[in-house]
Structure 1
Amino acid sequence: MLAMVLPPMILVAQNNWSTEQGGHGPIVLATGLWLLAREYRSSRGLEERGNLLLGLVALALFLAAFIVLGITGILELQVVAMYGALIAGAYLLVGARMLRAVWFPIFYMAFALPPPDTVVATLTNPVKIAISQGAVSLLHAFGYPVGSSGVVIQIAQYELFVAAACSGLNSLITLSAIGLFYVYLRHRSDTRALILMSLLVVPVAILANFIRVLILILLTYYVSEAAAQGFLHDFAGIVTFAAALGTMMALEALYSRVTARKPEVVLHG
């Protein structure tokens, strides 16, 4: 297992976890292993041997895919095959009942794996364009000399690329992982709360990035293009991420308060 896991994960740590988009990986892996150990201990007694034929077939398929993808050098898909092989091996050892009991840590730790760049681009590019156009329209309505042309936002004599302004969408996976982890710890037995909070993660991240784009455009206009693309660019990303995470916690607290209220029973004699 170590011979299969360590080489690709070292590459993931070097190439993905050291970037803004994948910096959440070590945190997700550490907290996921802690949660897996906790859930496994609380579910002791559910272990049983998995179906030998089914488990071996799944393990063989994932291992074959792991080898082929390793030869072709597609790291993102290779680590997915590696993770599938680990789950198949766990199924053989502890069975389906235990895997169902620890389903969330298994799902959560998948966020530590790097998604394919083509998938990320396909999902985020339309959102980036919509966010930039919305920010430009809002500022134009307030009288700012701003416009957009393709992937370029123009304000006064300055130009700002949409990709740079909307790079905060790279934190979508990070926010989703941490938000789900927080909600699960708070409402592990409340399926409705878990689903509701999960559905709110993406809208909150998009709203936070919309505000971030507004801040960067205004910084470019009032300060300078260099300031907006330097330290203040990264600082705006940190503030926006913190605000988005705080919003998720506030929404969760509001949900908890609303659902905790019990209706009053009025007795008529």
Structure 2
Amino acid sequence: MATYVARQPDWARWTSRWPLWIGLAAIVVPTFISLARQVWTSEDGIQGPIVLATGAWLIARDRAAIVAAARAGSLPLGLIALLFCLILWIVGRTFDFISVEVAGMMGALFTVAYMNVGADALRKLWFPVLYLLFLIPPPGSIVDRATAPLKEFVSWAATGILSHAGYPIVRQGVTLYVAQYQLLVEDACSGLRSLVSLVAISLFYIYLLHNASWRYALALMLWIVPIAIAANIVRIILLVLITYHWGDAAAQGFLHATAGMVMFVFALLGIVAIDWLMQAVITRARR
């Protein structure tokens, strides 16, 4: 009679690497504390906790495929990559460069994953891996340069719309003058620095619903930036209207309390609406 022995998890292989886990925890814990204090409390980093939770869920959802494809990666290659990531993390931590610090931490996490499950398993997790890179906050100077032309455009567009509506508004660069008030369209006002947040959450939505159709997903992705720009134009218009009718104090209260969330929700609903319209057009074309 055949005897079947239940396969037990290879706990010895994991517990024998306890120095690695302790070292990894020494990197991950302080970095996540820094992220929570410096980035996630601001509008620029609103996507952080969402990306972390949804990225972990995506990995957990595919754990069966990961286990099936798991083969330990190259130890020498992994150690070299881990050393590089550790140096990167130390530099970021020492000089308070949060972007460099988080990049080093993420690199260390992915390297440890490679050492344990191998390249084939990580390839099956290509989207969660790329998606989790949104945890790395982009340097403010790079964001400022990248969004400078967009600030000019949204200022021009908002001024044109309000001027045609009969409001006494003029523009000089990114400074708006309405009645006796002056509004400077800075990053916090235009909301363009939250573009990274919108891109991250939109990509998650597209991947989750349209992963099987990469052409459709790509077409939908092309709408992300235009919708974000439209949402920021709406945000500036709302701020100008509140300032004009209720004063600067009311506008500042709206700006710090709800403007960012209103813009974010508006943009996400825009992505959902475009998705619905595209599917409706495709369905009708197939009839």
Scaled by the length of structure 2, the TM-score of the pair is: 0.84
Judging changes above 3 Å, is the alpha-carbon distance between structure 1 residues 68 and 212 closer, same or farther for their aligned structure 2 residues?
A: closer
Partner Cα separation in structure 2 for residue 23 and residue 58 of structure 1: 30
Deviations along 1:39-78, one digit per CA (max 9) or x if unpaired, are 2324431111223343332222222222233222212111
Deviates more, 1:96-105 or 1:33-42: 33-42
Deviates more, 1:123-132 or 1:43-52: 43-52
Q: What is the CA distance between 1:30 and its match in structure 2? A: 1.1
Instruction: Choose which of 234, 246, 264 in structure 2 pairs with 1:241.
Output: 264
Partner Cα separation in structure 2 for residue 164 and residue 55 of structure 1: 40
Residues 43, 101 of structure 1: 8 Å contact kept? yes
Instruction: Choose which of 28, 37, 40 in structure 2 pairs with 1:17.
Output: 40
Corresponding letter in the other structure for 1:33: A
Task: Structure 1: state its 5+ residue gaps.
Answer: 265-269
Q: What is the CA distance between 1:180 and its match in structure 2? A: 1.1
Deviates more, 1:214-223 or 1:75-84: 214-223
Show the counterpart of 2:132: 109
Corresponding letter in the other structure for 2:236: V
Scaled by the length of structure 1, the TM-score of the pair is: 0.89
Correspondence 1:7 to 2:30: yes
Show the counterpart of 1:66: 89
Show the counterpart of 2:273: 250
1:148-187 equivalences in 2 (<5 Å): 148-163=171-186, 166-187=189-210
3-state SS in 2 of match to 1:18? coil
Show the counterpart of 2:238: 215
Judging changes above 3 Å, is the alpha-carbon distance between structure 1 residues 93 and 13 closer, same or farther for their aligned structure 2 residues?
A: same
Deviates more, 1:238-247 or 1:99-108: 238-247
Corresponding letter in the other structure for 1:204: I
Partner Cα separation in structure 2 for residue 226 and residue 96 of structure 1: 55
Q: What is the CA distance between 1:6 and its match in structure 2? A: 0.8
Corresponding letter in the other structure for 1:215: L
Partner Cα separation in structure 1 for residue 226 and residue 174 of structure 2: 22
Task: Structure 2: state its 5+ residue gaps.
Answer: 1-23
Corresponding letter in the other structure for 1:176: V
Judging changes above 3 Å, is the alpha-carbon distance between structure 1 residues 165 and 225 closer, same or farther for their aligned structure 2 residues?
A: farther
Show the counterpart of 2:111: 88
Q: What is the CA distance between 1:262 and its match in structure 2? A: 6.8
Correspondence 1:30 to 2:78: no
Partner Cα separation in structure 2 for residue 167 and residue 262 of structure 1: 38
Show the counterpart of 1:201: 224
Correspondence 1:189 to 2:220: no
Residues 65, 121 of structure 2: 8 Å contact kept? no
Show the counterpart of 1:123: 146
Q: How many residues align?
A: 264
Q: What is the CA distance between 1:177 and its match in structure 2? A: 1.5
Show the counterpart of 1:228: 251
Partner Cα separation in structure 1 for residue 113 and residue 167 of structure 2: 58
Deviations along 1:184-220, one digit per CA (max 9) or x if unpaired, are 1101222112222222211111111111111211222
Partner Cα separation in structure 2 for residue 88 and residue 61 of structure 1: 10
Residues 88, 101 of structure 2: 8 Å contact kept? yes
Identity %: 43
Partner Cα separation in structure 1 for residue 259 and residue 77 of structure 2: 50
Judging changes above 3 Å, is the alpha-carbon distance between structure 1 residues 39 and 259 closer, same or farther for their aligned structure 2 residues?
A: farther
Partner Cα separation in structure 2 for residue 166 and residue 131 of structure 1: 11
Residues 158, 233 of structure 2: 8 Å contact kept? yes
Across the aligned residues of Structure 1 and Structure 2, the Cα RMSD in angstroms comes to 2.1
Judging changes above 3 Å, is the alpha-carbon distance between structure 1 residues 51 and 257 closer, same or farther for their aligned structure 2 residues?
A: farther
Partner Cα separation in structure 2 for residue 158 and residue 260 of structure 1: 50
